[in-house]
Structure 1
Amino acid sequence: MTQNMFGKLKLLKSGGSTSRVMDLLSVYERAGPLGMTSKTAMFNTKRLNTSFIVKHTLRPWEREQLSGARISATKIIIPISECNLDTGGHSIFVEDPALDEKLSSHLGVSRALPRFRDDITRLRELAKLPSFDPYLLFDHFRLAKRPVSDAYFEMNERELGAISEFVAGQINLLVRRAMNSDQDGSLAKARKLASTLFEDHTSSRLDVLRLALNMSPEQYRDGVNGWKGTLYYCWRAGSCNRELSEFIASLKQLNLGQLNAGDRDEYRQAMGGIAQLAGQRWARVQNRLSQYHDQFSRFIKDGDGAALSQFLIMAPDMFVEMGEDMSRIQHVCASWRFWVGDREPADLPVAEARSLFEDFDAALSLEPHAKAA
């Protein structure tokens, strides 16, 4: 375990959960009224339930620690004191080959205990998710063997209903087309199948859809999971675009008048580079969204089953890649909003922005996704 988070845990907590930060400490503190119990907590070990889990962009020395092939990893940060975050915390990467040994030693828990083994399994499950967006967490844990409290999802019923309606609408279009169901009687059946697909895509009732697409059970299961994730990001794309536009506009308002000419040029260059990287990330998201809409449209309008089958085969990777890009954009936007707060541009301490810009540059930097897997 390393102790390298001195002074930063308050920022993680005050900034709240984002697509790249799971603030379990705040959830734990407010969970009482929401009905969390030991059975519905994220982990069996209390200190893990008061930790931070972060999708972290690796620095060069950290890449060497994890064999050098990755550009990002999932970090657990355990505060030294939950009441005084200024004391910092201990961290370890879930992808560390010695995770079990290091974590059990730090927590004082035997590696052989079933509850500790369950916690390790859950950490690795979380590491596989492309982001910690509440809807993805909700969908992941909805059918889990050990469910968790709704307190972790931070979604109101209206938002969940809107997402579910959007996803179900797309699924319903697919089911109707696959079954050639345009008549009223068949439409009712198609809607039931659409609901089944959303709630339990392993149901034997969906064999007709899988067979219509000429897919194996494994291809179909993985494809539908990836498809639902892709649909979620389709739904989130509008808000992500607005957040990005607001971030870039706010970034340009940073008052550089307090700096000398040389420093102003350096900051302008850094700000321009961040805006460019964010734009490139967003362009990749748009490209994948276009891919999805084109192939889905070919199936709905032209009955081209091969187009949809091809998309479903690609969907798991597409889902992860879109999640990576969108979560990085949204994390940067959320971090900037928190830093700016209610202050006016003239009141923002430019010197504080330097380390923030370095983090943004690292988070948005474009490298092959294959290395980040």
Structure 2
Amino acid sequence: MSGMRKSNNVDRTVRDLALLERSASTARVLNLLSVSALYRNETDYIERPFFTSPRLNESLILKHRIRSDEVGVLPKDRVTGTKVILPFERTDLKIGGRSFMVEQKGWRDVVDDICGAYRNPERDIHVLQSLSELPSLDPFLVREQMRRRGVDISTFYFNISEADIAQMYSFVGKQIEVLLDVSHRNRVDGSSWSNRIIRMLLSPVQGESIQPIRSALRLDPDDFEEGVFAWKGFLYYQWVLSDLRPQLAPFLREILTMKVSGFRDREMERMLDAARRRLADRVNVVLEEVVGAIRVYEAAFNDLTRNGKPLAFSNFMKRTPEMFVLLGERIGALSHVASYWRFRFPQGVVEKVPTDELLEIVRDFEYSLGGEG
């Protein structure tokens, strides 16, 4: 297939496909293969697919860090790209698959070939370009991006990965238990009942057991579905932020103090010092924006649980999915900055970096965070 990269001797990501599907984070991988396995017979899945091409609709899409042997694959200098992986056999991922990068040379021809004569390659190209614009693939950001781009997609596609659900479980449990306490203060089997509802809330499909939450929020069934999605979004972003914040202080300390090597003149030194200071300021501004948005949610939640105002909280939940654009883009950019830095400079490793390389990294980070770049 034109433009495809063979997995057996080139693409390590594709070679580790089975591991990727099991352990990948929600923000890094959009696992359409697992969505297909769960919902392929559902009417909404069939009528509102992510892609019109059946092959693309059973792919894995990931935000991929560009390796040294891939430099030049994309038209611009980037440290990350959007990779599409097409498994050779969806029932046995160990045998790998083929991949292409969105915006690599000839990628539109690849999509056209995959879609075939009776599909809609332009629509699928539009979806891929929309994903490529995003800093991460978390479902709340992706859903709002598709809404902005006028793409109608089934809600089955916007779920948190099993790997992240396992890690989120204890983090979000306290908030959910507080709300359950508001709705059923005299429940006897509290612990096991709470655990079942926590698991159900974080999973793709909710059941009847979650109805006490709907009662507490005083929402009709249609509004409740949207409200639960919004609530999961804020829980997800709270969890991601709690993991991200401890990484930012050492990152800033290191990038501000790292020594440089190689030829440099005063002008380059001045540019690097100014770029480092701008980056540090930008990181703090973006972090404050994220914290501020989450505080608005926390205030509304406290209004419900402490002051008994369910309508205020439920109205907030119905109004706020658009906040996911800000949260998803900002948290995605901060995660990219912190994770790429730690990938390039493992903790505890002290080294001098060529001036031009450090300047390039700092400028890329600035650009990712919406600064000068």
Q: Which position in structure 2 is the counterpart of 1:364?
A: 369
Q: How many residues align?
A: 297
Q: CA offsets, 1:178-220, max 9 Å, x none?
A: x2x2224274696254544333665355455435434343332
1:210-249 equivalence runs, <5 A: 210-249=214-253
CA distance in 1, matches of 2:267, 2:118: 59
Q: Which residue of 2 aligns with 1:31?
A: 17
Residue of structure 1 in register with 2:166 after alignment: 161
Q: CA deviation at 1:250?
A: 1.0
Residue 130 of structure 1, CA deviation = 7.2
**Residue 332 (structure 2) aligns with:** 327
SS in 2 for 1:185: coil
Distance 2:306 2:320 in 1: 20
Is the 8 Å Cα contact of residues 200 and 207 (structure 2) preserved in structure 1?
yes
Aligned partner of 1:273 among 268, 278, 283: 278
* Cα deviation digits, residues 126-184 of structure 1 (max 9, x gap): 679873359999xxxxx987999xxx9693xxx6434123234322321331x2x2224
Q: TM-score, normalised by structure 2?
A: 0.62
Instruction: Give the one of 179, 185, 188 matched to 2:188.
Output: 185
For residues 158 and 328 of structure 2, what CA distance do their matches in structure 1 show? 23
CA distance in 2, matches of 1:309, 1:51: 33
Residue 30 of structure 1 and its aligned partner are, at CA, apart by 1.5
Aligned partner of 2:69 in structure 1 is: none
Shift of 1:232: 1.5
TM-score, length-scaled by structure 1: 0.62
Go from structure 1 to structure 2 and tell me whether the alpha carbon gap of 1:32 and 1:196 turns closer, same or farther (over 3 Å shift).
closer
Partner of 1:132, secondary structure, is coil
Q: Does 1:250 align with 2:258?
A: no
Q: Which residue of 1 aligns with 2:266?
A: 261
What CA distance in whole angstroms lies between the structure 2 residues aligned with 1:128 and 1:216?
35
In 2, distance between residues paired with 1:296 and 1:342?
37
- Kept in 2, the 8 Å contact 1:175–1:209? The answer is yes
Counterpart AA for 2:222: E
Q: Is the 8 A contact 1:296 1:308 kept in 2?
A: yes
Instruction: State the shift of 1:266 in Å.
Output: 1.0
**Quick check: 2:179–2:213 contact (8 Å CA) kept in 1?**
no
1:314 aligns with 2:314: no
My pick for the range that moved more, 294-303 or 164-173, is 164-173
Are the counterparts in 2 of residues 176 and 190 from structure 1 also a CA contact under 8 Å?
A: no
- Are the structure 2 counterparts of residues 182 and 121 from structure 1 closer, same or farther at C-alpha, using a change threshold of 3 Å? farther
CA distance in 1 between partners of 2:203 and 2:330 (Å):
27
Following the alignment from structure 2 to structure 1, what is the Cα–Cα distance between the partners of residues 158 and 298?
Answer: 33
Partner of 1:110: 116
SS of equivalent to 2:103: strand
Answering whether residue 103 of structure 2 is matched by residue 92 of structure 1, we say yes
Letter in 2 for 1:30: D
Contact 1:54-1:76 at 8 Å conserved across structures: yes
Q: Which structure 1 residue ranges, 5 or more long, are not aligned?
A: 4-8, 10-23, 56-73, 80-88, 94-98, 138-142, 368-373
Q: Report the Cα distance in structure 2 between the residues aligned to 1:53 and 1:162, rounded to whole angstroms.
A: 20
Conserved? CA contact 1:78–1:90, under 8 Å: yes
CA distance in 2, matches of 1:213, 1:40: 31
- Look up the match of 2:300: 295
- State how far apart, in whole Å, the 1-side matches of 2:35 and 2:211 are: 35
Q: Which residue pairs with 2:289 in the alignment?
A: 284
3-state SS, counterpart of residue 280 of structure 2 = helix
Counterpart position of 1:203: 207
- One-letter amino acid of the counterpart of residue 92, structure 1: E
Contact 2:219/2:314, CA 8 A, preserved across alignment:
yes
Conserved? CA contact 2:260–2:352, under 8 Å: no
**Is 1:174–1:300's contact at 8 Å kept on the other side of the alignment?**
yes
Does structure 2 retain, via aligned residues, the 8 Å contact 1:227–1:316? no
Q: Which SS does the other structure have where 1:163 is aligned? A: helix
Alignment match, 2:357: 352
- Residues 136 and 229, structure 1, Cα contact 8 Å, conserved in 2: no
Q: Decide which moves more: 197-206 or 221-230.
A: 197-206
Structure 2 residues not aligned, in runs of 5+:
23-31, 37-52, 66-79, 86-99, 143-153
Distance 1:130 1:310 in 2: 29
Q: CA RMSD in A?
A: 4.8
1:300 shift after superposition: 0.9
Offset, 1:25: 4.9
* SS at structure 1 position matched to 2:118: coil
- Deviation, 1:322, is 1.3
Moved more, 211-220 or 161-170: 211-220
> In structure 1, what is the Cα distance between the partners aligned to 2:173 and 2:84?
39
Secondary structure class of the residue paired with 1:92: coil
State whether residues 33 and 59 of structure 2, in contact with CA within 8 Å, keep that contact through their aligned partners in structure 1.
no
